[in-house]
Structure 1
Amino acid sequence: MLEIPISKEWWKPFHEFLDEISQLKEVEEVLFFEERSLYESNVFVVVSRESEEITKKVAEVMVRLKSKYPWVSLSPMVLEKNSVAYTQFVTKGVHPA
């Protein structure tokens, strides 16, 4: 069983993910559904138009991060801006999963 560090180290993968993903031209914003800590699907990559290409890019970033930080449980979701799921999330705080 892997030991999960609960410290500043815990947030490193999240910040690396933000740095890399926010540079993609398709990404409009990255939202974080705040809870006590960073759980699997609490990060949402908002794009103007969802595509297989952006989903693939997000997956590639996660493969790199999971090889660097084997304990990371980050599993971001891609949301299309102005979709029903996006609107409910930003206006009502309803988790899109």
Structure 2
Amino acid sequence: MMFYRCKTDVAKSSVDSKSSAISTEDIHRLTGKIATLENEKFVFATQLKLARNKLENLELLEAQKKILEDRVVILNDMNDCLVVRFFFFLFSFFFQ
């Protein structure tokens, strides 16, 4: 029984050594993978911020466009009123 136990301990020790060697390699590989993924995360976060900024800028431009369109309508109405007044003035001046 004692011999069997020692043999098991030796085998276990050998497996533990291989496991720790594999674990060390895995740790280095995973560390590199984590660094790569963190870099990709940073790139994607930056792209997302840029896209959000572009979207906000587009929304502002659309609001400015709407304001300018409204101003054009108002100015056209004012122009129409001035033209009517001008013709009314001319008509009243010449036909008095």
Q: Which has the higher helix share?
A: 2
- Structure with the greater alpha carbon radius of gyration: 2
Structures share fold, TM-score greater than 0.5: no
TM range (shorter): under 0.3
TM-score, normalised via structure 2 length = 0.21
Q: Which has the higher strand share?
A: 1
TM-score, normalised via structure 1 length = 0.21
